Amino acid sequence: MLSIIYLVAITAEAMTGALSAGRRHMDLFGVIIIACVTALGGGTLRDVVLGHYPVGWVANPKYLLITVIAALVTVLLAPVMHHFKRAFLVLDALGLVAFSLIGCAIARDMQLSPLICMISGMMTGVFGGVLRDVLCNEIPLVFQKELYAVVSLLTAGAYWLLLECAVAPNFSIFACLMGGFSLRMVAIYKGWEIPKFIYKD
Amino acid sequence: MLSIIYLVAITAEAMTGALSAGRRHMDLFGVIIIACVTALGGGTLRDVVLGHYPVGWVANPKYLLITVIAALVTVLLAPVMHHFKRAFLVLDALGLVAFSLIGCAIARDMQLSPLICMISGMMTGVFGGVLRDVLCNEIPLVFQKELYAVVSLLTAGAYWLLLECAVAPNFSIFACLMGGFSLRMVAIYKGWEIPKFIYKD
Amino acid sequence: MLSIIYLVAITAEAMTGALSAGRRHMDLFGVIIIACVTALGGGTLRDVVLGHYPVGWVANPKYLLITVIAALVTVLLAPVMHHFKRAFLVLDALGLVAFSLIGCAIARDMQLSPLICMISGMMTGVFGGVLRDVLCNEIPLVFQKELYAVVSLLTAGAYWLLLECAVAPNFSIFACLMGGFSLRMVAIYKGWEIPKFIYKD
């Protein structure tokens, strides 16, 4: 189940990346790179920081191909993309939660501490978008708005806890997917944010 | 001694990172990430580039916790922070020098060449701030102003030389800390800079 | 032959990096870092992502020294640099192609799949410039203009194919250097670009 949702997730993230690139009038190469960085950059950063080699898409280049195809399809479908804004929010939320579970599982397999497992989930879920914004020359959106990274941290933490309590893996995945997804959806609907820090010299 | 100064250093760096995030009106998640990147990003980059796994904070998550706490304390103390500007300059200088020694020591333990030991010290000392500026969407300050990176390179170089000459490790650390710290303080006081390169097409 | 062209390539890339830094009025430290990132950053990113340790310039610090010297010479020669614009385009094209072949060869030696070999060549050839633009706070040029990365991908792909067909390595290198270089030169002369994707919300 998680691997199907992973495919949905990288496709959705690649599409949002391609749209970001289109907003900055990039050429097709830029579109593909931004799509790949958005979809696969979080997992790549996680693998590099944890020393978890080979990096996911290096071992399985098919993920890279899916991302490239998703980017090109986005360019073709651009004129009708605005009809799918809500669908994107749903797919992106599903992706965030799936990425968080995968990142947490990888760190846990490496027998890292619970805090690092949560960070690993959050890096996987959130830093693709951070790298996208850096390459598009913007302050990362996720540092300024919305309950996004917190959903990722909580989902990863809950997953770690359930596995630690020897809850069946499949049930743990299902419960965390539902819980994290619902939390993200409610956060969007209610406009939940965490407090801002405003500092002037 | 170096490990106590290291704790002071990551605390000071985390606080400057949190203030940078506050200047850009980030939310608490952004504040924490920028603080962590400022305090731990230089060492992380060093470990990843040298292939020195596990990365420091992955092996010792307590450093991550200290950084997070320092960031949150900074938010609470923000209204009185401007009283501590001078203290920050002193702590930051101490941090720069301590980071440089640690980075140099790690590369030397890996039996890398003296030039790489100096670069390793400089990456540790300087690149946390570079990554902070990149995430805050600014040209890194350290590329434009002040005698900062040069202090780091000289400190690391002197430390390598003293160890190579079989000077007692504790004395070497003490001498380089004092020397590097003094040089940085004098550079701030006198406004020393290295020449700028101004090029027009 | 490839290693001589590699030296020419890092020199040329270091010089373009130094000029970029000069356009942003950086100091000498910034100039040297931007030069090193431009010349060696693509290969560093490739090695870190592939887990190919030690990273090139860590194992051979002489490449770092050459880059630093090239940066300083650029500063000295800045007043006459505009006379060499055409020479730079030629050297940069040669560098792009040489980097692409080297990156492809390293991935192939690691027995990675052909797609990853092409990506490895492209990362080596193109991402030094991407990192330079990120540190100079600009949207990477290569995502917006010119037939540049495509030349890199095609060169790396052709090289992989020739080696796979058991063509003599020296002939393969020569043929790909000539082919990639010619393609890049024609692309500059004819102003070839790949299509842009322009998206408005």
ipTM above 0.90, yes or no: yes
Distance CA B173, CA A56 (A): 41
Residue B194 DSSP class: P
Of the candidates C33, C16, C47, C140, which has an alpha carbon nearest to the alpha carbon of residue B199? Answer: C16
Q: Mean pLDDT, to the nearest integer, of A49-72?
A: 96
Residue B185 C-alpha from the chain's centroid: 15
Nearest beta carbon to residue C64 from set B115, B130, B201:
B115
> What per-residue confidence (pLDDT) applies to C144?
86
Mapped onto helix, strand or coil, the DSSP state of residue B144 is coil
Structure-token match 């290291």, residue found: B6
Characterize A40-77 residue by residue with b for buried, 16 or more Cβ atoms within 10 angstroms of its Cβ, and e for exposed. Answer: bbbbbbbbbbbbbbebbbbeebebbebbbebbbebbee
Chain B CB contacts of C21 under 8 Å are: 143, 197
Shortest Cα–Cα distance, B134 to chain C (Å): 7
Task: Output the CA–CA distances (angstroms, integers) from residue A14 to A3, A37, B161, C93, C141, in the order listed.
Answer: 16, 8, 50, 30, 21
Shortest Cα–Cα distance, C146 to chain A (Å): 9
> Per-residue pLDDT for A1 more than 80?
no
For the segment C45-55, what is each residue's pLDDT rounded down to a tens digit?
Answer: 999 999 999 99
Average pLDDT, chain B: 94
3-state secondary structure chain C: CHHHHHHHHHHHHHHHHHHHHHHCCCEHHHHHHHHHHHHHHHHHHHHHHHCCCCCHHHHCHHHHHHHHHHHHHHHHHHHHHHHHHHHHHHHHHHHHHHHHHHHHHHHHHCCCCHHHHHHHHHHHHHHHHHHHHHHCCCCCHHHCCCCCHHHHHHHHHHHHHHHHCCCCHHHHHHHHHHHHHHHHHHHHHHCCCCCECCCCC
User: What would you report as the CA-atom Rg of chain C, rounded to the nearest whole angstrom?
Assistant: 17
Give φ, ψ of C78 to 5 degrees: -50, -40
pLDDT classification of A37: cutoffs 50, 70, 90? very high
Distance CA A162, CA A173 (A): 9
Tokens of A143: 């540092």
Chain B CB contacts of A201 under 8 Å are: 23, 82
Distance CA A101, CA A118 (A): 9
> What per-residue confidence (pLDDT) applies to A100?
96
Between chains, do A112 and B64 touch, taking CB under 8 Å as contact?
no
What stretch of H or E contains B26? none
Interface of A with B (CB under 8 A): 48-51, 112-113, 115-116, 119, 130, 134, 137-140, 142-145, 148-150, 193-201
> What per-residue confidence (pLDDT) applies to C96?
94
Please count the residue pairs, one from chain A and one from chain B, whose beta carbons lie less than 8 angstroms apart.
84
Distance CA A140, CA A148 (A): 12
Shortest Cα–Cα distance, A108 to chain C (Å): 21
pTM: 0.95
- Among A133, A143, A146, A198, the residue to mutate for chain B (most B Cβ within 10 A): A143
Between chains, do C197 and A27 touch, taking CB under 8 Å as contact?
yes
For the segment B15-65, what is each residue's pLDDT rounded down to a tens digit?
Answer: 999 999 999 999 999 999 999 999 999 999 999 999 999 999 999 999 999
Number of continuous H segments (helices) and E segments (strands) in chain A: 8, 0
For the segment B113-142, what is each residue's pLDDT rounded down to a tens digit?
Answer: 999 999 999 999 999 999 999 999 999 989
pLDDT classification of B88: cutoffs 50, 70, 90? confident
Between chains, do A197 and B29 touch, taking CB under 8 Å as contact?
no
Mapped onto helix, strand or coil, the DSSP state of residue A27 is strand
pLDDT classification of C84: cutoffs 50, 70, 90? confident
For the segment B91-100, what is each residue's pLDDT rounded down to a tens digit?
Answer: 889 999 999 9
> Per-residue pLDDT for A85 more than 90?
no
- Among B58, B62, B75, B137, the residue to mutate for chain A (most A Cβ within 10 A): B58
Q: Where are the alpha helices (DSSP H) in chain B?
A: 2-23, 28-50, 56-59, 61-77, 85-109, 114-135, 149-164, 169-190
Shortest Cα–Cα distance, B146 to chain A (Å): 20
Chain B CB contacts of A144 under 8 Å are: 24-27, 30
For the segment A97-110, what is each residue's pLDDT rounded down to a tens digit?
Answer: 999 999 999 999 99
Distance CA C128, CA C110 (A): 22
Of the candidates B67, B31, B87, which has an alpha carbon nearest to the alpha carbon of residue A199? Answer: B31
Q: Mean pLDDT, to the nearest integer, of A186-197?
A: 92
Shortest Cα–Cα distance, A26 to chain B (Å): 19
Between chains, do C201 and A82 touch, taking CB under 8 Å as contact?
yes
> What per-residue confidence (pLDDT) applies to B59?
95
Mapped onto helix, strand or coil, the DSSP state of residue B129 is helix
Residues forming a β-bridge with A37: none
Chain B CB contacts of A96 under 8 Å are: none
Q: Mean pLDDT, to the nearest integer, of C123-143?
A: 94
Say which residues have a Cβ less than 8 Å from residue A84's Cβ, sequence separation at least 6: none
